[in-house]
Amino acid sequence: IISPISSWAAAVSGFVSGGENGLALFCQAIPFNFYAFFTIIFMLMIVVTGFDFKAMSKYDERLKEWYERNGWQLDEVSDTKLQIVEHGVGAKADSKKPKETKGAVADLVVPIIMLIVFCMTGMVYSGGYFDATSANYHDFVDSFAASNASVGLVIGSLTALILTIMMFVVKKTLKFDDAMSCLIKGFEAMVPAVLILTLAWTLKSMTDSLGAAEYVSGVVASSAAGLQMLLPAIVFIVAACLAFATGTSWGTFGILIPICIAVFPVAAPLRIISISACMAGAVCGDHISPISDTTIMASAGAECKHVHHVSSQLPYALTVAGVSFLTFVVAGLTQGMGLMASAAISWISGIILLIVALTILKRIKCKKE
């Protein structure tokens, strides 16, 4: 949500009407996307201070206890680590030491780089960047806005997959038979995630059929005039609740961004801040929603139980959401000073609030211990 070269930027740009440059508006809103930036900063603060919430630390403690009971070094990580966490301490089935492999760091990094490069190439291809002689031709930036993310991501991921298998076989990191077996195991691992996604999309369709989007749109639009200074914070909360209930951040963009554009004139600072609040709130609600596709894919990729992933990530997201809400209040109150001054004051206030929140949380944890 803070990357202008992405399908997210293209989605947001698509909801901007009236001939305005949606990508330029997206870029202007990036400095005010407090939730995204503060999440990254909060994670770094947790790493540096060693603090962690009990919802997550209990799984780390169980894993360390298992290692100590079996006489392993804590830096020895096996491919069954996550199953150890799920099945409890001292599971006999997972007591074998990890096998020696021929893998290297490059075997992880290079495929990821290829995936990013080819997915971006696939997106600009679907957006008409390579059709120089066609009427559908777009330049590099506009091709992202006009891209078909589904087509581009399929092209990019399939190309990266084929090249990765070729690289592993040539380097003899994996045998060809083993690489093909990994494909089958991958499909098997994705079956639960696909089922949850199907049910989540069904629930989302039912919510849309009930007219939730129209209801929220009417309530926000009718109350916007009298609460202009506090509107960014209100939009943030509404977007977070809407994305949590529906499991989609892109759908939330489609509901709230047109409202923000309609309420404020083109040159108003609150226009940019409110759009940022909409994007930040949508991502926040998407993070904590158990029916969101990103949440479901995260738990599937980590091979942990979905309900455990949702419950253990909630304290992180809600802490940053609380700080972001107060920061949007500051941004709304200081918007009269101009965008640059408002952004600077808001950032300083937000960082101070993050430090205060982490300090209070550490003291509460120390008292309980």
Residues 206 and 349 in one domain: yes
In-domain check, residue 118: yes
pLDDT of residue 161 exceeding 80: yes
Name the pLDDT band for 348 (thresholds 50, 70, 90): very high
DSSP helix, strand, coil percent of the chain (3-state; round to 5): 75, 0, 25
The percentage of residues in the chain with a pLDDT greater than 90, rounded to a whole number, is: 14
> Could you say which of 137, 162, 189 is where a domain stops?
189
Question: What gap in Å lies between CA 248 and CA 256, rounded to an integer?
Answer: 13
Average pLDDT, the chain: 78
Q: Which two tokens stand for residue 18?
A: 């009236």
In-domain check, residue 334: yes
8 A C-beta contact, residue 38 and residue 350: yes
8 A C-beta contact, residue 253 and residue 12: yes
In-domain check, residue 14: yes
Which of 25-29, 103-107, 282-286 has the largest mean confidence?
Answer: 282-286
pTM for the whole thing?
A: 0.65
Question: Given this model, what pLDDT does residue 369 score?
Answer: 72
- Please tell me the total count of domains within the chain: 2
Name the pLDDT band for 69 (thresholds 50, 70, 90): confident
HEC string of 57-104? HHHHHHHHHHHHHCCCCCCCCCCCHHHHHHHCCCCHHHCCCCCCCCCC
Higher pLDDT, 270 or 102: 270
Question: What integer is the mean pLDDT of 51-61?
Answer: 79
Residues 209 and 282 in one domain: yes
Higher pLDDT, 325 or 91: 325
8 A C-beta contact, residue 259 and residue 220: yes
8 A C-beta contact, residue 38 and residue 324: yes
Question: Given this model, what pLDDT does residue 180 score?
Answer: 87
Residues 361 and 240 in one domain: yes
Distance of CA 89 to the CA centre of its chain: 31
Which of 13-22, 260-269, 288-297 has the largest mean confidence?
Answer: 288-297
Residues 209 and 333 in one domain: yes
pLDDT of residue 322 exceeding 90: yes
Residues 138 and 237 in one domain: no
Nearest C-alpha neighbor of 320 from the set 30, 34, 32, 48 = 34
> Could you say which of 189, 210, 234 is where a domain stops?
189
Residues 246 and 128 in one domain: no
Q: Residue 365 is which amino acid?
A: K
Over residues 162-218, the pLDDT tens digits come to 999 999 988 888 888 888 888 888 787 777 667 766 776 676 677 667 776 667 666
Torsion angles phi and psi, residue 291, rounded to 5: -105, 10
Q: At what angle do helices 269-288 and 249-263 cross, to 10 degrees?
A: 160
The radius of gyration of the chain from alpha carbons, rounded to an integer in Å, stands at 23
Residues 258 and 345 in one domain: yes
Question: Given this model, what pLDDT does residue 154 score?
Answer: 86
Question: Given this model, what pLDDT does residue 53 score?
Answer: 81
Residues 138 and 68 in one domain: yes
Question: Given this model, what pLDDT does residue 94 score?
Answer: 45
Residues 208 and 338 in one domain: yes
Nearest C-alpha neighbor of 280 from the set 249, 310, 318 = 249
> Could you say which of 125, 159, 189 is where a domain stops?
189
Number of helices (H), then strands (E), in the chain: 16, 0
Question: Given this model, what pLDDT does residue 92 score?
Answer: 43
Higher pLDDT, 169 or 137: 169
Question: What integer is the mean pLDDT of 341-369?
Answer: 87
In-domain check, residue 42: yes
Half-sphere exposure of 177 (CA within 13 A, CB side): 0
Domain that holds residue 231: 7-47+202-368
Residue 107, C-beta contacts closer than 8 angstroms, at least 6 positions apart: 167, 168, 171, 173
Residues 151 and 184 in one domain: yes
pLDDT of residue 341 exceeding 80: yes
Over residues 170-183, the pLDDT tens digits come to 888 888 888 888 88
